[in-house]
Amino acid sequence: MNEAGRSGVKTDTRVDDSPPPKKAPDPTGRPKSPNGLLFLLAVLLPPRFTPESVRYDRRYRTLDKYRFIIGFLGLPLAFYALFVISPFVQAIYYSFTDWSGGPVANFIGFDNFTKMWNDERFWDSLEMSIALAVIAPVVTLMLGMFFAYMITSGGRHRKGQAIAGVAGSSFYKVVYFFPQVLSVAIIAVVWGRVLNTNSGLINGGLDKVGIDGPAWLGGDRTLALIAVLVVLCWSFVGFYVVLFSAAMGAIPKDIYEAALLDGAGRGRTFFSVTLPLIWDTVRTGWIYMGIQALDSFAIVLVMVPEHVLKVTPVFLYERFRDGQYGYATSIGVVLLVLSMAFSLIVMRIGNRDRIEY
């Protein structure tokens, strides 16, 4: 700030020599050229102390503008650079080193990545992560869309309406949305209990109808994966219900009326009218959910015992806990590349002609 002010003053005194005639038509006849010190003071002090002679000067206005920018944008940008961008850049750098917590970090090229390539445990975890990233968005988005469609147009047709929401729609929205405001750690412990083999709700219910419930989180990888999928779906579906019902609510009612007049049923209306019109939102949601599923760290870490199922972020965390920081960052970089690749693939698959309405 100080630096900016001073350099500003320098350029100003230089410019000062050339255009004196421009200042001449000043009607109030203020002092022609305020000196540099006054400028500096005016920039450093709050606006109300700005001397009259400086306030209406064009050069002061320019400086004032930059001060405004630095004050309003510089702080957030600096904050961002320090605590989001910088760790990110460091993560990329340390993925090429063997840093293990000490003062030295030797540059070792792609060694971490070759190690990862040959690491059986990494591939195991990646398999699970990719399964989650592929299945979770599809299931969650479909459920979210179904609920949203039910909420916005599942109600009975009243007179004069082509489309009507169910009664109490806001209640359902809140119920579905609520897991979004809970901590993932708490979601994980609650579901750990619900899925518990002996005293869990689910096996208790199965017991009532005479089925001996399996050990959901007790050993079988596929069962554990299903459990994680259920939890992911439960915790995110509400977000999509809200997102999609907002998108559906933005569709003009006369389009539905036209479809109704043409004899389209609920299903046909959904696939031919609603879905194409909210497709942009669906695609964005798909990408977001895929990234969330790739990053399902806390749920798996807290809910699933280590020997049963591991996803890549948990594998990363274990390397971090062991002090293999270099290796851990390289896994993080791979994860990041994967989520970008996922976004690009979905963008490509989901690319359709945009429909304007």
Partner 1 sequence: MATATAPRAGSPKGSAPQLKPKRAFRPRTLVITVVAWALAAIFLAPYLEMVITALRPKSELRDRTYLPTDLEWSNFIEVWKESELGQNLQVTLLVAGGATLLVLLVSLPAAYYTARMRYRGRKIFLLLVLVTQMFQPTALLVGLYREFHQLDMLNSVWTLIITNAAFNLAFAVWILTAYIGSIPPELEEAAMVDGTSRFGAMVKVTLPLALPGVVTAVIFTFITSWNEFVMGLTLTTEPDKQPLTVGINNFIGAYTVEWNYLFAASVVAIVPVVVLFAFIERHVVSGLTAGSVK
Question: In angstroms, what is the minimal distance from the CB of 354 to partner 1?
Answer: 11
Q: Which CB sits closer to partner 1, 33 or 143?
A: 143
Is residue 197 a contact residue for partner 1 (CB under 8 A)? no
Among positions 6-45, residues that touch partner 1 (CB under 8 A) are: none
Spatial contact of 344 and 102, defined as CB atoms under 8 Å apart = no
Q: Which CB sits closer to partner 1, 89 or 138?
A: 89
DSSP 8-state class, residue 219: T
Is residue 107 a contact residue for partner 1 (CB under 8 A)? no
Contact window for partner 1 (CB under 8 A) among 10-18, 124-132, 168-176, 221-229: 168-176
Determine the size of the site formed for partner 1 (CB under 8 A): 98
Is residue 354 a contact residue for partner 1 (CB under 8 A)? no
Spatial contact of 96 and 109, defined as CB atoms under 8 Å apart = yes
Is residue 76 a contact residue for partner 1 (CB under 8 A)? yes
Binding residue for partner 1 (CB under 8 A) from 129, 140, 269, 339? 339
Q: Which CB sits closer to partner 1, 1 or 6?
A: 1
Is residue 260 a contact residue for partner 1 (CB under 8 A)? no
Is residue 60 a contact residue for partner 1 (CB under 8 A)? no
The phi, psi pair for 336, rounded to 5°, reads: -65, -45
Q: Which CB sits closer to partner 1, 39 or 191?
A: 191
Structure tokens at 180: 């979004």
Q: Which CB sits closer to partner 1, 39 or 342?
A: 342
Distance of CA 61 to the CA centre of its chain: 39
Binding residue for partner 1 (CB under 8 A) from 39, 60, 149, 191? 191
Residue with tokens 């059986």: 120
Helix then strand then coil, in percent of the chain rounded to 5, is: 70, 0, 30
Among positions 199-258, residues that touch partner 1 (CB under 8 A) are: 199, 201, 203-204, 207, 234, 242-243, 246-247, 249-250, 253
Q: Which residues of 138-170 are buried (b: 16+ CB within 10 A; e: fewer)?
A: ebbbebbbebbbbbbbbeeeeeeebbebeeebe
DSSP 8-state class, residue 217: T
DSSP 8-state class, residue 182: S
Binding mask 128-167 for partner 1 (x = CB under 8 A): -------------------x--x-x-xxx-xxxx-xxxxx
Q: Which CB sits closer to partner 1, 16 or 113?
A: 113
Helices (H), 24-157: 36-44, 52-55, 58-69, 75-80, 86-94, 111-117, 120-153
